[in-house]
Amino acid sequence: MSISRCDLLLRADIIVTQDAQRRIVEGGAVAIDGGTIIEVGPQAELDARWQAERSLDLGRKLVMPGLVNAHTHASMTVFRGVADDLPLMTWLTENIWPVEKALSKEIIHFGALLACAEMIRTGTTCFCDMYLMEAETARAVDEAGIRAVLGEGIFAFPSPAYAKTEDAWPIIEDLHARYKGHGRIRTAIMPHAVYTTTPEILKRSWELAQAHGCIWKTHLSESETETRTSLEQFGRRPLDYLESLGISGSKCVFAHCVDLTPEEMVRMAETGAHVVHCPQSNMKLTSGMARIEDLRRAGVNVCLGTDGAASNNDLNMFLEMNSAALLQKVRTMDPTALNAQAALDMATVNGAKALGWEELGCLEAGKAADLIALDLNQPNMLPLYNPVSHLAYAASGMEVCLTMVNGKILYEHGRYAAMDMDGLAREAVKVARWVKARAHKTN
């Protein structure tokens, strides 16, 4: 047998691969070269095959794919805890939007950096973001070393980035051109919602997504109120309205989808649309309980997102998996609903599929070296019968002791490779003062 060289050989007691067979390797190893995984398997086999520049013996750890947060607004970390205990539309129109109007590039950049720090700390290696002045989020992602799909939020009204929607298009084109070919950053087209845009904006945004071959994402059917408004404004339910404009297909990623009819679920499955479930945000804003089991049964690809830190109030995908699983059980009054493996799939492979980034979400040869390690000796992880059960039901995210993106370690032994957490904490005090002076309701 010939021995080949690789950059890194990582060994750990348990490897949850999330590959097609959902293989779990005990006493496993991952061989990495550049930013790519070249083999995953038993330690003895990989030791015999690979001569590594560097080895990392993690011991009593669980290694798994980095989590994919498929819907967030990273910079909203600056509003964490500012306006709690409100319903969606009051929260948005009376509390969030008035302050967002005044946001500066600096604050958006800071909020995105803080979000990256939180996601890296809790095991997310890729996120999908919609926000304002998204170039600042892109800058933060580049600095932090994390992976992301980014889109400038498109409204029919002024945003801090543009005085009129007409001025949004060049901003979107610029962002796309700037990150074309970037290894970790992709761009997408993201009109905010049917109730904050016009048919012309939606059609133009769709044409742009098609021209760039990128995903098209929006908030959809988040609440019954949204459906009612859509029926009043456009004479159609939100999904019907989009379809009447020619918007449908596998490039569509719809966040929330709380208020769908069974027939709409079938149509989503037929067209290949993806749904991002955001259970914590939906519960906190009392938007409702998405019928995830029905969606999955209909054949829709359902993934998971935190939404922003102002409606969650964290960006922790372990807690989101937990909430997703528990919420479906009470919604259906069936304890077998959305089991641990289904929750983990939503946070990994399904997220990668929705974002059209097939190199993500699982550990196998040819995939990106985006992985995390969890300390199995933490009290809440003991004893261990079923690793997947612990990931969905016992882990808090704070067991993550190593986060790697594209073969680079971003977090290890409590330290960030490329982030100044103390500096961020100092800056957070100043930003909070700025927000407090402008916020209508602060807790």
Ligand X SMILES: CSC[C@H]1O[C@@H](n2cnc3c(O)ncnc32)[C@H](O)[C@@H]1O
Residues that bind ligand X (CB under 6 A): 73, 92, 96, 100, 130-132, 153, 155, 192-193, 219, 222, 281, 307-308, 311
Closest by CA position to 338, among listed 388, 286, 288: 388
Residue 128 C-beta: closest distance to ligand X, Å = 12
Confirm or deny that 73 is annotated as ligand binding. Answer: yes
Q: Which stretch binds Zn ion (CB under 5 A): 27-35, 86-94, 178-186, 307-315?
A: 307-315
Minimal distance, residue 75 CB to ligand X, in Å: 9
Tokens 């049964």 map to which residue? 297
Query: What is the residue type of 65?
Result: P
Q: Taking CB within 5 to 8 Å according to partner kind, which of ligand X, Zn ion, none is near residue 387?
A: none
Per the CB < 8 A criterion, the answer to whether 186 and 150 are in contact is yes
Residue 136 marked as a ligand binder = no
Phi, psi of 153 (to 5 degrees): -70, 130
Q: Which entry of ligand X, Zn ion, none binds 192, CB below 5 to 8 A by partner kind?
A: ligand X
Closest among 79, 182, 54 to 432, alpha carbons compared: 79
Which H or E run includes 238?
A: helix 238-244
Spell out a b/e string for 140-153, using b for 16 or more CB atoms within 10 Å of the CB, else e.
bbbebbbbbbbbbb
Reading the block at residue 135, the tokens are 């170039």
What's the token pair of residue 85?
Answer: 């205990």
Q: Is 118 labelled a binding residue? A: no
Which among Zn ion, ligand X, none contacts residue 100 (Cβ within 5 to 8 A by kind)?
ligand X
Q: Give per-residue burial for 157-170: e unless 16+ CB within 10 Å, then b.
A: eebebbeebeebbe
Residue from 39, 307, 320, 370 in contact with Zn ion (CB under 5 A): 307
Decide whether 255 or 392 has the Cβ nearer to Zn ion. 255
> Which of 67/372 has CB closer to Zn ion?
67
Q: Which is nearer to Zn ion, 309 or 376 (CB)?
A: 309
DSSP secondary structure code for residue 76 in this structure: G
Which of 316, 187, 303 lies closest to 256 in space, CA to CA?
A: 303
Q: Which is nearer to Zn ion, 118 or 307 (CB)?
A: 307
Q: Least separation, in Å, of the C-beta of 349 and Zn ion? A: 22
Distance CA 258, CA 288 (A): 6
3 state DSSP class of 379: helix
In whole angstroms, the minimum distance from the beta carbon of 29 to Zn ion comes to: 39
> CA-to-CA distance for 430 and 437, rounded, in angstroms?
11
The option from ligand X, Zn ion, none interacting with 241 (CB < 5 to 8 A, set by class) reads: none
Q: Which does 153 bind (CB under 5 to 8 A by kind): ligand X, Zn ion, none?
A: ligand X
Contact flag: residue 370 with Zn ion (CB under 5 A): no
> Between residues 19 and 134, which has the closer beta carbon with respect to ligand X?
134
Binding residues: 71, 73, 100, 192, 219, 222, 307
Binding residues for Zn(2+): 71, 73, 219, 307
Binding residues for substrate: 100, 192, 222, 307
Q: Which residues bind Zn ion (CB under 5 A)?
A: 307
